[in-house]
Structures are given as C-alpha cells and as structure tokens.
Structure 1
Amino acid sequence: MDTKEVKSTVSNLEKAVDDKTILKLLNILNDDVKPTEKLLRETKVGVVVNKYRSHANPQVSSLVKKMIRGWRGAVQAEKNNKKKSGMSPSSSANSSTNNNNNNNNNNDSTAKSEAAASSTASAPHRSYTGPRSAQKDGVNTQLYDNDTRNASVAALYNSLAVERDDAPKTIVAVATEIENAVYREEYSKLGESYRNKLRTFIMQLRNKKNPELRQRLLTRELDAGKFIKMSPNEMAPEELKKQIEKLHKQNLFDAQGATEKRAVTDRFTCGKCKHKKVSYYQMQTRSADEPLTTFCTCENCGNRWKFS
C-alpha cells in the first residue's frame, strides 16, 4: 500500500463503529502495509491503530498488539541496517588512506561493529506479559540523592509502561525528562506543587483508556516540556474529548432553548424616561394557578421592571 492508500484506510478505520468493520480494516493494514519509519510518520497509522489496543473485543486488541510489535521490530531493523550500511564507506575510506597496521585495526573494529549491529537486528523483539514496573524490568531509578525524585521517576516509568512493549531504556529516559522538567518548573523545590503536578501526570498516563498519550511521549512526538504545560483536558483521551465537546454543545443548545424570546411593544410605558418602545417576556414564576410574571426592558434607557 502506498501512503495515500494507507491514509484512506486509516480514515475509514477512525470512522468505523462495529467490530466486524474494525477487524476487516485492521487485517488489511496488517497484511498490506510494509512498515517503514517514513510511512509510519507520514500516515500516523501506528497512533490510530494503537488506540484499539484496549478494545473490548479481544480479537481486536490481540491483533493490534501483534501489529504494533511487528511494525516496531521492522522499523528498528531498518534503523540498524542504515547504521550498518553507513559504516562501510567510512571503513573503505580509512583503508585507502592509512598504513597496513591501521588498516588491520580499522578492519577489526569495523567487523566487531558490524557483528554487533547484525546481532541487534536479528535479536527477537521482547514481548512483555502482565503489568510492567521499573522493578520488574530491572531498571535502576535511583538517579538522585533525593528519595522523592527517585520515587517520582519510578512512578512515571510504571505509568508510561502500561500496555507498552518499549525498551526499558526508552521509558526511563522519557520518565526522567518529565521529572526533570517539573523539577525545573518548580525552581528546584520539592513542595506540594511539585507533588501535585506529578500526581496529575501519573494519573493521566496510567489511564488504560488513554494509550495515545503514552504513544506520543514514547515516540517523541510530544516532548516533556510541552507535556507538563498541558491541562488535564488536553491530556484526556480523544474519545473523552469528543464526549465532553458533545456535552458542551448540548448544554449550549439546551441553554439557548430555555431562553425566553423577547417581544417589542408600545403597550407599556417606561416609568423612567416615558418612552413606549419596550421589550418584554413572560414566565411562570409562581404556582400554576397564578398569572404569568411579565418582565419589561426599556429599549431607550435600559430600565427594567416586572409585574404580574
């Protein structure tokens, strides 16, 4: 599939509502997409597909996890191959300019580098089962002489690792950047403001219904500096944002529907400026058997009064 076809399929996937259609589109992407770093960046297909990682249908969630693992492994292999191919010209140039001893040393060094790159490319991608944590992953979060900061890094790591297969070094690097950004923002003070901010971020990141936030941070689409400036509403899952927006529009509609329509008449006289151009509306403010209350506003001076 080319970029245009992938974008079209992704668009249809975002609009799909029934499990059958979602599975069909996911299978098309799984079978036909040849993942490259450029394609994934241009189409954002990985971000969209990852939203279905926690889908209620186990077939959907299982397929998505398999796709993400495969694409991530393919992109990593692509990067390793680029690094490997980039070494050859350098080694060749060195061999043509250095003496025999240097050539031998360079060749040995290049051979070791190529062997390491080949080993990394061929190594199977690790798949994590069950809840992850810094302790289970064997990650050292004791980075500072302060227990509060170390505990913050560990908590951020645990939140970022929810339903993720990223390498521990990637997760701990992002967790450290977020903690550092908050620490600098609070002018190196570990007070309530520091703790409250980190609690908010940790709660948002550990939300299983918000995989796209973790995805954006771990793929560096969103950096730590911008992340800590976001409001809770901006961090909320896309589905929740849509629900909030829908509720907001409905509330506006309801409020407008409840607004009384004003009529302008010359039957009333303003007691203040004696003009007869008066707008009014009526409401039932007392019991049902009582007459309506009339609210008047003078269009000339703005004077208001009411009567029953």
Structure 2
Amino acid sequence: MDVREVKTIITNLEKTKDTKTIVQLLGILKEKVRATEHFLRLTKVGVAVNKLRSNADPEVSSLVKKIIKHWKEEVSKEKKDKHHKQDKAHVVHSSTTKQTEEEVKAAKEAEADGISVKTNGTTSQHAGFVTSKTRTPANDGIKVNFYENTTRNGSISGLYTALAIGSTVQPKDIVIVAKSIEERTFDCYDGKVSDKYRNKMRSLIMNLRNKKNPELREKVLNGELRPEKFVVMNSQELAPESLKKLVADLHQKNLFDAQGAVQKRAVTDRFVCGRCKKREVSYYQMQTRSADEPLTTFCTCENCGNRWKFC
C-alpha cells in the first residue's frame, strides 16, 4: 500500500462516523500497511489511528490497540535488523581489508553481476541478481528468440520484463517461467498466433506489470501459481488481493442492503446480539445461493445496529 492510498483511508476515517466502516478501514490498514519508521513518519497514519483509541465502541478501540502494538513491534524489528546488518557489514569490511585492491574490486563486480568469484581460495555465491538497469532480456543478457515467429518471441520478452519487475531472481530462471507461460497460452489457442492469443498475452502481461499486484508476480515466479493454471485465470482471479477484499466487502454490504420494497423484517428474541447482548433483533431471509441450498438469514440488532448473517 502506497502513501496516497494510506492518506485516502485516513481522510475517510476522519469523515465517517459509521462503526462498521471504521472497522473495515482499520482492517485494511492492519493487513496492508508495512510499518517502517520512515513510512509512519511520512503518512502520519499512526497518529490518525491512535486518535480512535478512545472511541466509544469497544471493537474499534480494541482493534486500534492491536494495530498500534503490531506497528511498534515491526518498527522495533526493523531497527534491530538494521543494527545487525551494520554489525555484519563491519565484520565483512574488517576481513576484506586484508585483501589486495584488485581482489576487492573483483569481488564487488561479481556481487553486482550476481556471479561466483574465487578470492583467496574461497568461493562466494550470490543467489540474487542485482542491476542498476531496468530489467529486460537485452539488459540481463538473455536471448528470447526461441521461435521463427516474432510475435511469440515478443510475448516471451514482454512476460520476462513483467516478471522481472522488482525481482532479484536469476535471468535464466525468469526466462524459463516466461517461456512456459507462452507455451501454455499458445497451446490453449490450438497452436495458432490468433487475435485471441494476442489479447490473452496482453492481459497476462498487463496483470503481471500491475504495481499494486506484486503478490501475483511472486506466486508465478516461485512456482506457487503454475503456468497451466495462470493462463486460464479470469480478470477477477488475477486482481490484486486488496481489490478482491474490497469487492468482497462491498458484496456483503450489498447483500444486507438488498431488501426489496415489500421485504418484511420480523423482530424476535430468539437471537442474541454479539455486541450488546440484547435480544431485540429483527431479521429477514433471502435465497442468496442455488435453489437447493438453505436460505440465508440476515439479522440486525434494533438496539445497537450490529448486523450479521448465517445460513
């Protein structure tokens, strides 16, 4: 979650008085904000959230305390890790002063290129690939001309560039994944470079390039999401997790609000509100799933406004 998105949520928190909306917004912040000292200072999100600590609703105040505690722990861990890295760098620096100037230069160049180098009889292997250039097949020294068809080769190049965004995975591993995705897509359209093939490739590349969806690139690269499954996913399945959660929240809200003009709400004392423990609950039932499934019961506490549902 970037600075602009956090500031938008802060603005909504300051404007809304609805408890359910406040809880939803706090839940998004708790799940999506990666708390670093710099980020918290920049957005002032900690100050905004802490203002709700004294909220009259116990659910809100409790959630605020958990969020603040979690963020403090993350910042503390960040500082410890920083000190640890500094100490480690100091030890490495002390040991390398014994090397000749040529050996040190060679080691640094090898680290930048992500390759192995022998120094004083020892081998240093760097798993990550680090470069100052934008990662593309050409800049990474990778050839993608696997086929005579330029469209297929261009698709692999586009997939490679999208998968490599923000990644330190070795070029040879990325190109294997990119080629596999292109092959599966090609097979899905009867082994032809058709308009459907081109449109599908554009869609896959655009979703992989989405800056708000790094989880998708990571899952594809680490093998958690296999190419054969990835190429048949629809736009809803490819969407960022934050958008999926937002859509799910809106869907649930719409279910509660989707009461017809003649919808009758019965009041009963059979249900107990989980928030205020009162037995003044109105309810109605709707068929939200297939016809052979039981009705969904929607409940609203007449005392505090708390709402819930069950099947």
Q: TM-score, normalised by structure 1?
A: 0.48
Q: Which has the higher contact order (CA 8 A, sep 6+)?
A: 1
Q: Select the structure that is richer in helix.
A: 1
| Structure with bigger gyration radius | 1
